[in-house]
Structure 1
Amino acid sequence: MHLVTALLVLGSLAHVLWSGLADRGVALAFGALVAVGELARGGDPAQEREPAPLGAAGALAYALLGENAGHPTMHSALQVVAVTSAAFLVGCVPQVALGRAPLPDHLARRVLSTAFAAVCFQPLYNSGKLTDLLGPGPAYALWLVVLLALTALCDAVLAAALVRARTRWPFGPLLRDELRAMRGIGSAVGATGVVLALAVAVAGLWALPVFCLPLLLTQLSFSRYAAVRTTYRQTITSLARATEIAGYTPQGHARRVAALSRAVGRDLGLTAADLVVLEYAALMHDIGQLSLVDPVPDGATAVLPATEQRRIALLGGAVVRQTGVPADVAVVVELQADPYREQPLTARIVRTANAYDEMARKEGPGGPLAALERLRLGTGHDHQPEVVESLARVLSRGGLAPVGG
């Protein structure tokens, strides 16, 4: 997909250099909008689905633009790709200098989604067939909305396919999460793109700064929310390390269990909201051990009586409830010592990931394989078979490396 994107960008630039730039003023205005959107990009591109919503909206609007103040535009789909890609690269130069280079996946999605919208709209409009079929009335605006929905679906499919190729997670749940994410900043980007295209068609290029201001304010608010969310997760991670600092659990145990649990949850198709609950619960699953007078060797509470395990789990849940995280996280922590058939799936995943990390650490060089075999032997009573097999798939993708101390 990256190769296709590179060839498409190079071919589009070559086409524009050969045939010239149609509607130069319009192209420069939208190119400037996309570049400004990239300059205003904030946050961690690896954590945000759309780190530059203003630039994405500008690219979409240019792809769906048919008129400028009542005068038809004649730019081609290839020119749309060339102008938006060049503006994107120009806007990214300062970001690269600051060490915030955009991810190749984001670039591929942006280019291919914009190209999809342009190919669906520009040839029909430039040939006059779209005007003959729909006219300038409500049907024309409805067609833009339909194209917006199709472009959003295309973008979601591309995003899910790229993650699937990189991680081998199931495609269906990935696509579902991408479509659900459209309800957030994605819907604002799409709506602004269509409104910009319609507004420029009536009022001209002066509509660009007027209609971009709400999205810019939304982007600033979203960036602040993302920063708060990142700080919140860092606080939970620091709190989870309290058991390691106090000597109750081995170094890195909570982090490893959280990483394994999230990967297994992905493999089993959990939603994005459930994955957040799963990760937080995995990070804090041992917090109840702080109530012990003497630490359990290596933090392995499985050797304790069942009543003591439940007491520690309930105390851990009580601590978690005081942190302000969702109540579902506390429930997962509280149910760690219960039989797996009485647990929700998230608790079963944490239980299995925790047991694997403890077993693999004790068994030496052959720990990962030996731990998996012991987990499989315990599927009749202690662990859900589907969760154990999912863990095996996750480990096979990353290799059965020994668990660090």
Structure 2
Amino acid sequence: AALVGAVPHVALGHGPTPDDMARRVLTVAFAAACFQPLYNAGKLKHWVGHGPWFALVIVALLVLTALCDAVLAAAMARARTRWPFGPLLRDELRAMLGIGSAVCATGAVMALGVAVAGLWALPVFSLPLLLTQLSYRRYAAVRATYRQTIASLARATEIAGYTPQGHAHRVAGLSRAVGRDLGLCGQDLTVLEYAALMHDIGQLSLVDPVPEGATAALPEEQQRRIALLGGAVVRQTGVDSAVAVVVERQADPYCHQPLTARIVRTANAYDEMARGEGPTGALGGPLHALERLRLGTGRDYQPEVVESLARVVSRGGLSSPPAG
């Protein structure tokens, strides 16, 4: 079944995904290893018979199988990204509430239906699953389009010359990685990423652009004005109001900010400092940027967020590129 399922991907030129295939085979093997020995030995019939208790056993087994699949998926993601295992597992479990519950319910009906209709029950009951998957893919495509729209809005400051090229996307990548490292997941990560992409959009309301778009070194009042202007713009776009709140709170002392705003503020300042932007531009570089952030932990930056950023940067691949 895994090989058959890979055929459409190969036909579209995407190629098979060995990790996902191996995970599904291992998950099905787990279910079979738990069920078949008891069923073939007649112990299930002796213990629960073929009434409602038998259906309950199947449902319980499918729940265990879903947990096994979530653990495997989180472990694979942990091996690829080195993000904390706990938040990854929570993300997998939350994702299973949708399509996973449909798969488990259909699986239970299949197991019961095969005894009556034979193997013809498999294709009959697989059709609703296919339709559910197509609907889920369409929903995912809508979400992807929504994110692309926000990313396009974020590029407006770069196209207008207010911020350097790629700044918003670098801040969003750093913010998301730090959020993962600190245990954020689900909707909190989405709000964090959208706010990071749009954190500089308030600069479009300025008559005179900030040199190099570097807001971290501006006076507090000017930072607050840009943040409030940005929040007002975000609210007009129809994006989740939680994103606007994060953008508006960028200039507040970190003890008054939500965690997502602390992360965006720290990631923004790091990218500006590491690229050598602002009045001390000649002293750029990741190590100097982290040193300056640590010096600002008394009021501007939360120490735990700065240390998390240091861990993320030390893993490589997310530090800001050299200026120029």
Which TM-score applies when normalising by structure 2? 0.94
Deviations 1:284-307 (A, max 9, x none): 000000011121111012343322
Does 1:249 find its partner at 2:167? Answer: no
Question: Which residue of 224, 232, 247 maps to 1:318?
Answer: 232
Q: Are the aligned partners of 1:379 and 1:385 in contact in 2 as well (CA < 8 Å)?
A: yes
In structure 2, the gaps of 5 or more residues are: none
In 1, the alpha carbon distance for the partners of 2:272 and 2:182 equals 22
Kindly state the Cα deviation for residue 181 of structure 1 after the two structures are TM-superposed: 1.6
Unaligned runs of at least 5 residues, structure 1: 1-86
SS at match of 1:188: helix
Measured in 1, the distance between the counterparts of 2:191 and 2:132 equals 26
Cα separation, 2, equivalents of 1:402 and 1:152: 39
Deviations 1:241-299 (Å, cap 9, x if unpaired)? 00000000000000000000000000000121100000000000000000111211110
Work out whether residues 144 and 194 of structure 1, in 8 Å CA contact, stay in contact via their aligned partners in 2: yes
- Counterpart among 369, 372, 377 of residue 290 in structure 2: 372
Mapping of residues 123-142 of structure 1, within 5 Å: 123-142=37-56
Greater than 6 Å deviation, 4+ residue runs: none
1:328-339 correspondence to structure 2 within 5 Å: 328-339=242-253
Report the CA distance shift for 1:402/1:290 in structure 2 as closer, same or farther (over 3 A): closer
Structure 2 CA distance, aligned partners of 1:250 and 1:115? 51
Q: Which amino acid aligns with 1:141?
A: A
User: What's the % identity of the aligned pairs?
Assistant: 80
CA RMSD of aligned residues (A): 1.7
Q: What is the 5 A alignment of 1:5-404?
A: 87-362=1-276, 367-398=285-316, 401-404=319-322
Check whether the contact 1:288–1:315 (CA below 8 A) recurs between aligned residues: yes
Distance 1:111 1:364 in 2: 55
Measure, in 2, the Cα distance between the counterparts of 1:404 and 1:274: 30
Moved more, 293-302 or 282-291: 293-302
Tell me the SS of whatever aligns to 1:293.
coil
CA offsets 1:375-400 (integer angstroms, 9 cap, x no match):
11111111000000000111111168
Q: Is 2:110–2:122's contact at 8 Å kept on the other side of the alignment?
A: yes
Contact 2:196/2:264 (8 A) holds in 1: yes
Cα deviations by residue, 1:153-179 (Å, 9 ceiling, x for unpaired)? 111111111111111111111112211
Cα distance, 1:319 vs. partner? 0.9
- In 2: Cα distance, 1:276 partner to 1:200 partner: 42
SS in structure 1 at match of 2:50: coil
Alpha-carbon offset, residue 402 of structure 1: 5.0
Distance 1:347 1:325, change over 3 A: same
Distance 2:174 2:194 in 1: 12
How far did 1:103 drift? 2.5
| Residue identity in the other structure for 1:398 | G
Preserved CA contact (<8 Å) 2:164 2:213: yes
CA displacement at 1:208 relative to structure 2: 3.2
Q: 1:187 to 1:364 in 2, by over 3 A?
A: farther
The code of the aligned residue for 2:250 comes to Q
TM value normalised by structure 1 = 0.76
Distance 2:231 2:261 in 1: 12
Residue identity in the other structure for 1:386: E
1:66 paired residue number: none
Tell me, in whole angstroms, the C-alpha distance in 1 between the residues paired with 2:153 and 2:275.
Answer: 23
- Write the distance in 1 (CA, Å) between the matches of 2:191 and 2:113: 42
Most deviating of 218-227 and 387-396: 218-227
Matched residues in 2 for 1:114 and 1:394: separation?
Answer: 35
User: Is the 1:309–1:337 contact (alpha carbons within 8 Å) kept by the matching residues of 2?
Assistant: yes
- Does the 8 Å contact 1:359/1:371 carry over to 2? yes
TM-superposed CA distance for 1:207, in Å, is 3.0
